[in-house]
């Protein structure tokens, strides 16, 4: 059922915008199918069962994709699909010829699906997801007329306000989940005591209420709703009166059993509801725009419903649920009537619309009945729920002041609603003749009126025979809202038109009479038409707010993101240091871990370490003479390689050594195109050096401290697993290599891809760029340059040696590759050896010649390497194992010994090719920079 609207929306995307009727029918068919499905479930709901549907979604988070259909959900589902079907029918006639119908109906169905999701969701996370979807689709629907500025603004405002509410709701829901330990609705509803005794209760309640109030346009978040009236009228009728804005009160109803029944709830919800009720009703009287009046009236009625939930008694909740139904029915019909009037006259301004009774009597009759329901006139549905409201208002006895204020406020609100209903009727259908209309009004097409007729008939039926029509539905819905096990435990109430002479009836009478008097007085004394719009519009505030946010964000951005890389680095490093300090300072270590006895270092080790430290410092001191610094750094790198040797990491030592060589060569070549010296900082910025030195020292000290702390404590490692399984499962004795190509093969695949990409990036960055060397005093500067005469720069000795060395080096490379699984070596190391052999050729013969004679295309090497590695991984799929599962077998090869032919070997071959390709691509590209274009080609 939930899927149907979404399916419909997708189907509609394929319907051309030219076929209006067809799009309408299609949308209607999906909606009606959904409605029919819902009805088939009705008997189950009536019997007190809760049909469910569940698919695991994020089981690790305890979030399932579950749906449940209890009475409340059934009621809302009925409203959504039933009114939805009518709106679709209505919309098919309402849209202008140049409006794209497929887009309209697709969005409408999308919204319908989202809204159904909200009411059917059986856990709170899912509810929030759908909640956000309704906000999004509402945004798109309000902005349906993209070309209109007010539509775009209104859409933005609605999205901003409801979006903020949605975030608050999400936070609230997460808090609920944390307190209760589950997001499941059944569990949450049953956890009232746990929730309300939690210290987090007030914050989470406030967050949830913020979500509900923004969605339901409660004061002070009401201002977006009138601006959302820029939407096409079917949208206003559907989203902004009957369904979406009800999502907020739905949430109140849904969570009432868990969050309600306490003082905080009572005061906040009832106060907000009451203020909204009064404010909306009073402001509505002074609107000139027909839809504006209806919008404020909607706000007011939503306030009424909120207030009813806030009163916190079971009976008030029943009244609230009842009014949700009634309001949806009469307000949707009124919006549709307003749309008809707009459609037929071209205006919604009540100062222009007058005396339409003569032109469109049927529409007028319908609108009058619906307005009567809005005003709460007897014999129509609005009367019943209003009576129940008055009853509850007089029953408030918790506080002396409230006891007095509540009935008075209720009566005033009743008066105001009578007054604006009267204005609607009188101003539009009577009160003289139309003024300056662009069209001559007539009755609308037959089927445009049908939805209104159906809804008005429902109004009357409910109003006349409440017990027979709405009684059962109200009973199951209210029971579900109160989360009672059976209908028998429901509070007693009677649905009847006549309750005898009592206080509520008196209040109704006063409201009626008062409302009429107020309207007549207002019309006589000040003539409502001349009233300029009340300054009650919070749009101005909203705009100022948004503007300030933008300004503050801009200032913050300029403060941190000033375009200076140095500033960014400084911020990152300082933040990292501060984070480390804060972690140690805020969370002092608990308990003591014993220190482990440490080996003393012998003199050789100390000496080597001092060399490393000395050269690193040397690199810093000499950093302005770049070549010198580079040499210092190279020595420091060698010390790093030595420490790998000393601390039992032969693979790392080999890799470090080879990478060091390649890196230094690369840097020297590059230095050829960069200044050889760094300029000192400008005189005014010398202090920067000291600042940086302090920051750097702090970073170094911190790292030293951590390393020392870690090394002097014992630890548990997961590594014995690798040591134990490397031979039996990986087929290799070299645990490091087996981890790389087997256990963590997927990582490695990613890493060689990165290396290959790095090579390609270098190639692309420098493609076609020709830079003359900045000057010639670098010893390697001339190495790759073909500008000088060939003979002058090439050493014969070097050429002879490197020629002899090439096959040897390649042999060595292959040897390291083959033995890698059992002894230090492997694809990374072999690839680097191979690359260095090639570099030697470059040095000896010049780049152009080498590339001409070998015809090397390193980009392809990268490609083949990745392909080999990837295919090896996929090969294991063929035999039914996960990606990159390896298998192995030993073969005896003369001279080399037993060679493991594991599938991981092919993977390692990929690594090998990729390393050569990536490395050489980078080097060759940079080396090629200085060659004239014809040689580079």
Partner 1 sequence: MSLALLVALGVGVLMACGVYLLLRARTFDMVLGLTLISYAVNLFIFFMGRLAVGKAPIIRAGVPETLTNYADPLPQALVLTAIVISFGMTAVLLAIAVRSHAENGHDHVDEEGRSGVAVDTPPIPGRTPK
The residues in 720-749 that bind partner 1, with binding defined as CB under 8 A, are 720, 722-724, 726-727, 733-736, 739-740, 744, 747-748
Report the residue number, 340 or 869, with the smaller CB distance to partner 1: 869
Report the residue number, 294 or 862, with the smaller CB distance to partner 1: 862
Report the residue number, 278 or 667, with the smaller CB distance to partner 1: 667
Please state, in angstroms and rounded to a whole number, the distance separating the CA atoms of residues 60 and 326. Answer: 42
Among 73, 455, 619, 843, which residue interacts with partner 1 (rule: CB under 8 A)? 619
How do beta strands 890-893 and 63-68 pair? unpaired
Q: Report 809-868 residues binding partner 1 (CB under 8 A).
A: 822-824, 828, 832
The residue ranges of DSSP E strands in 195-320, in sequence order, are none
Q: Report 914-933 residues binding partner 1 (CB under 8 A).
A: 915, 918-919, 922-923, 925-926, 929, 933
Please state, in angstroms and rounded to a whole number, the distance separating the CA atoms of residues 382 and 372. Answer: 8
CB of 887 to partner 1, least distance (A): 19
CB of 768 to partner 1, least distance (A): 5
CB of 852 to partner 1, least distance (A): 22
Angle formed by the axes of helices 745-765 and 903-928, nearest 10°? 20
Considering only the stretches 376-384, 485-493, 519-527, 673-681, report the one whose residues sit in contact with partner 1 under the rule CB under 8 A.
Answer: 673-681
Q: How many chain residues bind partner 1 (CB under 8 A)?
A: 124
Report the residue number, 153 or 663, with the smaller CB distance to partner 1: 663
Considering only the stretches 185-193, 209-217, 396-404, 593-601, report the one whose residues sit in contact with partner 1 under the rule CB under 8 A.
Answer: 593-601
C-alpha closest to that of 341 among 303, 371, 299: 371
C-alpha closest to that of 790 among 859, 721, 844: 844
Q: Report 328-387 residues binding partner 1 (CB under 8 A).
A: none
Q: Which residue has the tokens 């204005």?
A: 423
Q: Which residue has the tokens 């101005």?
A: 540
Give me Rg for the CA atoms of the chain. 39
Report the residue number, 361 or 700, with the smaller CB distance to partner 1: 700
Contacts of 447 (CB under 8 A, 6+ apart): 89, 92, 93
CB of 559 to partner 1, least distance (A): 14
Contacts of 143 (CB under 8 A, 6+ apart): 151, 152, 154, 155, 156, 231
Please state, in angstroms and rounded to a whole number, the distance separating the CA atoms of residues 374 and 299. Answer: 13
Q: Report 751-770 residues binding partner 1 (CB under 8 A).
A: 751, 754-755, 757-759, 761-762, 765-766, 768-770
Among 771, 801, 871, 893, which residue interacts with partner 1 (rule: CB under 8 A)? 771
Q: Report 648-667 residues binding partner 1 (CB under 8 A).
A: 648-652, 655-656, 659, 662-663, 666-667
Report the residue number, 748 or 903, with the smaller CB distance to partner 1: 748
Report the residue number, 736 or 818, with the smaller CB distance to partner 1: 736
579 binds partner 1 (CB under 8 A): no
Q: Residues 879-918 vs partner 1: string with x where CB under 8 A? A: ------------------------------------x--x
Largest interatomic CA distance in the chain: 121
Q: Residues 538-577 vs partner 1: string with x where CB under 8 A? A: ------------------------xxxxx--xx--x----
Among 630, 843, 866, 884, which residue interacts with partner 1 (rule: CB under 8 A)? 630
Q: Decide: 899 and 892 in contact? Cβ < 8 Å.
A: yes
Please state, in angstroms and rounded to a whole number, the distance separating the CA atoms of residues 165 and 220. Answer: 12
CB of 808 to partner 1, least distance (A): 23
Q: Decide: 142 and 158 in contact? Cβ < 8 Å.
A: yes
Contacts of 326 (CB under 8 A, 6+ apart): 373, 381, 382, 384, 385, 459, 462
Among 557, 719, 777, 803, which residue interacts with partner 1 (rule: CB under 8 A)? 719
Q: Report 689-708 residues binding partner 1 (CB under 8 A).
A: 692-693, 695-697, 699-708
Please state, in angstroms and rounded to a whole number, the distance separating the CA atoms of residues 799 and 809. Answer: 15
Please state, in angstroms and rounded to a whole number, the distance separating the CA atoms of residues 905 and 584. Answer: 45
Considering only the stretches 374-382, 541-549, 580-588, 621-629, report the one whose residues sit in contact with partner 1 under the rule CB under 8 A.
Answer: 621-629
Q: Report 67-126 residues binding partner 1 (CB under 8 A).
A: none
The residue ranges of DSSP E strands in 39-109, in sequence order, are 52-58, 63-68
Cα separations (Å) of 839 from 309, 752, 784?
80, 20, 10
Among 167, 206, 450, 616, which residue interacts with partner 1 (rule: CB under 8 A)? 616
Report the residue number, 450 or 666, with the smaller CB distance to partner 1: 666
CA torsion angle for 47, 49, 51, 52 (degrees, to 10)?
180
């Amino acid at each position: 059922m939930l899927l149907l609207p979404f399916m419909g929306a997708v189907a509609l995307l394929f319907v051309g915008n030219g076929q209006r009727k067809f799009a309408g029918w299609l949308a209607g068919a999906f909606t009606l199918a959904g409605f029919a499905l819902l009805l088939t479930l009705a008997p189950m709901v009536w019997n007190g069962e809760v049909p469910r549907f569940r698919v695991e979604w994020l089981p690790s988070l305890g979030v399932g994709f579950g749906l449940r259909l209890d009475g409340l959900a059934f009621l809302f589902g009925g409203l959504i699909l039933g009114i939805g079907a009518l709106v679709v029918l209505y919309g098919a006639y309402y849209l202008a010829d140049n409006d794209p119908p497929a887009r309209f109906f697709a969005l409408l169905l999308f919204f319908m699906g989202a809204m159904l999701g909200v009411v059917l969701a059986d856990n709170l996370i899912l509810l929030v997801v759908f909640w956000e979807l309704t906000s999004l689709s509402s945004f798109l629907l309000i902005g349906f007329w993209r070309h209109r500025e007010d539509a775009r603004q209104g859409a933005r405002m609605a999205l901003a306000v409801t979006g903020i509410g949605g975030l608050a709701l999400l936070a609230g829901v997460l808090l609920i989940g944390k307190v209760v330990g589950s997001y499941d609705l059944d569990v949450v509803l049953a956890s009232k005591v746990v929730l309300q005794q939690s210290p987090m209760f007030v914050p989470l309640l406030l967050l949830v209420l913020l979500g509900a109030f923004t969605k339901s346009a409660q004061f002070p978040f009401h201002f977006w709703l009138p601006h959302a009236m820029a939407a096409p009228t079917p949208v206003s009728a559907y989203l902004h009166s009957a369904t979406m804005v009800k999502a907020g009160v739905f949430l109140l109803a849904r969570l009432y059993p868990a969050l309600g029944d306490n003082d905080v709830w009572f005061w906040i919800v009832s106060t907000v509801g009451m203020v909204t009720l009064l404010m909306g009703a009073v402001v509505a009287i002074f609107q000139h725009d027909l839809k504006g009046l209806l919008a404020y009236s909607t706000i007011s009625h939503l306030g009424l419903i909120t207030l009813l939930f806030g009163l916190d008694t079971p009976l008030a909740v029943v009244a609230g649920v009842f009014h949700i139904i009634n309001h949806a029915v009469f307000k949707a019909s009124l919006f549709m009537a307003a749309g008809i009037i707009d459609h037929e006259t071209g205006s919604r301004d009540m100062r222009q619309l007058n005396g339409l009774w003569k032109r469109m009597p049927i529409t007028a009759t319908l609108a009058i009945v619906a307005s009567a329901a809005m005003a709460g006139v007897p014999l129509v549905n609005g009367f019943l729920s209003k009576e129940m409201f008055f009853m509850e208002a007089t029953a408030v006895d918790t506080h002396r002041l409230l006891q007095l204020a509540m009935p008075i406020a209720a009566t005033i609100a009743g008066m105001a609603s009578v007054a604006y209903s009267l204005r609607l009727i009188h101003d539009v259908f009577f009160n003289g003749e139309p003024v300056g209309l662009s069209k001559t009004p007539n009755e609308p097409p037959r089927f445009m009126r049908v939805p209104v007729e159906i809804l008005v008939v429902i109004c009357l039926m409910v109003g006349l025979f409440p017990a027979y029509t709405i009684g059962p539905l109200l009973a199951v819905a209210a029971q579900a809202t109160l989360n009672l096990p059976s209908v028998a435990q429901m509070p007693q109430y009677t649905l009847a038109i006549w309750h005898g002479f009592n206080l509520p009836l008196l209040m109704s009478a006063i409201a009626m009479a008062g409302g009429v008097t107020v309207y007549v007085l207002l019309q006589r004394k000040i003539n409502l038409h001349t009233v300029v719009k009340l300054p009650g519009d919070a749009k101005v505030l909203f705009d100022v707010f948004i503007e300030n946010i933008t300004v503050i964000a801009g200032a913050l951005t300029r403060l941190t993101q000033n375009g200076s890389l140095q500033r960014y680095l400084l911020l990152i490093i300082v933040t990292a240091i501060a984070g480390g300090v804060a972690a140690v300072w805020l969370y002092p270590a608990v308990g003591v871990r014993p220190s482990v006895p440490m080996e003393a270092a012998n003199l050789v080790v100390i000496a080597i370490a001092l060399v490393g430290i000395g050269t690193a410092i040397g690199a810093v001191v000499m950093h302005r003479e770049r070549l010198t610094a580079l040499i210092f750094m190279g020595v420091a790198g060698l010390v790093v390689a030595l420490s790998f040797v000393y601390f039992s990491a032969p693979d790392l030592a080999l890799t470090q050594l080879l990478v060091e060589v390649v890196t230094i060569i690369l840097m020297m070549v590059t230095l050829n195109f960069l200044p050889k010296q760094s300029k000192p900082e400008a005189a005014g910025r010398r202090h920067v050096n000291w600042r940086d030195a302090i920051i750097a020292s702090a970073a170094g000290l911190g790292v030293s401290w951590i390393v020392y702390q870690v090394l002097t404590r014992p630890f548990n490692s997961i590594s014995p697993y690798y040591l134990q399984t490397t031979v039996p499962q990986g087929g290799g004795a070299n645990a490091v290599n087996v981890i790389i190509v087997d256990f963590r093969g997927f990582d490695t695949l990613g890493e060689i891809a990165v290396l290959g990409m790095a090579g390609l990036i270098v190639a692309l960055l420098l493609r076609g760029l020709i830079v003359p060397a900045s000057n010639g005093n670098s010893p390697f500067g001339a190495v790759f340059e073909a500008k000088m005469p060939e003979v002058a720069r090439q050493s014969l000795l070097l050429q002879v040696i490197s020629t002899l060395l090439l096959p040897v080096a390649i042999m060595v490379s292959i040897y390291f590759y083959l033995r890698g699984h059992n002894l230090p070596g492997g694809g990374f190391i072999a690839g680097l050896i191979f690359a260095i052999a090639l570099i030697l050729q470059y040095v000896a013969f010049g780049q152009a010649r080498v590339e001409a004679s070998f015809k090397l295309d390193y980009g392809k090497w990268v490609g083949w390497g990745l392909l080999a590695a990837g295919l090896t991984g996929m090969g294991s799929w063929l035999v039914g194992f996960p990606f990159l599962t390896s298998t192995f077998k030993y073969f005896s090869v003369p001279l080399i010994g037993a060679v493991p032919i594991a599938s991981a070997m092919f993977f390692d071959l990929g690594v090998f090719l990729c390393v050569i390709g990536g490395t050489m691509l980078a080097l060759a590209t940079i080396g090629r920079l200085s060659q004239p274009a014809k040689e580079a080609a």
